[in-house]
Amino acid sequence: MTQPGLFEREAVVVEQPRRSWWRRHTGPDLTVSSLDGIPLALVTHIDDTLSVLTEVSGEYVVRIDRRSRSGPFEQFAPTRFHFVDAAGREVGTAGARGLVKTRQLSLRTERGRRLFLTRLGNLGLEWHLTEPDPETDPETDEGPAAGILGRVTVSTVDRWFGLQRYVVETDPALDVSERRTVVASVVCLHLLRRPPGGNGPA
């Protein structure tokens, strides 16, 4: 029986791989696997502005470009992530605003569908995936609707290193390209919470 592909699965796990105190970690920055632990993909952070998602076979899946305004008020400026496929086409985006950028990510899929990934409470470790209310101002992207299309639940798998694990569950109605945007946005969420080279906010 053929196993479903990376973005055909309704649930995957994005997590930081375990590491040793005694050796420098040289593996991927994040892994993507099935709920039962089958490895599916790897994420490597090239630098603070570029991450690459590849299948475990090494096949290129998507590049994540981070763009934000630099300067004295950088922490207040919006941050945008652009998802680019192997052919160089933009296949989705994610954006965050405000001082606490992990409160909500505004997503746009390859086909232009707008979604929100919204944190439940300021200290919550669960985010809900929703569509914007039809009455929402498209220029401000404010106010997600109540219908839940998925959820992201975060846990710490290693207290010493603070390694993070994200369980990503999506509605069966989402297609492959939409799930690609959601999984890539979870990588962005991790980058906002735990930037390379630092622990970042929880």
Neighbours of 160 (CB within 10 A): 7
Q: Say how far apart CA 123 and CA 74 lie, in whole Å.
A: 23
Q: Say how far apart CA 24 and CA 112 lie, in whole Å.
A: 41
Q: Please give the chain's pLDDT, 202 residues, in tens.
A: 557 789 999 999 999 988 766 677 667 899 999 999 999 999 999 988 999 999 999 999 999 999 876 655 567 788 999 999 999 999 999 999 988 899 999 999 999 999 999 998 877 899 999 998 766 554 555 555 558 999 999 999 887 778 999 999 999 999 999 999 999 999 999 999 988 765 554 4
DSSP character at residue 57: T
pLDDT score, position 202: 44
pLDDT score, position 45: 92
pLDDT score, position 136: 55
Q: Which pTM value belongs to this model?
A: 0.88
Q: Is 105 left (phi over 0), alpha (psi -120 to 50) or beta?
A: beta
> What's the Cα-to-Cα distance from 162 to each of 18, 193, 199, 201, 202, rounded to whole Å?
10, 11, 8, 11, 9
pLDDT score, position 21: 66
pLDDT score, position 144: 53
pLDDT score, position 68: 78
Domains and CATH numbers, the chain: 11-193 (2.40.160)
Q: Is 121 left (phi over 0), alpha (psi -120 to 50) or beta?
A: left
Closest C-alpha to 179, from 36, 53, 29, 38: 53
**Contact between residue 44 and residue 195 where contact means Cβ atoms under 8 Å apart:** no
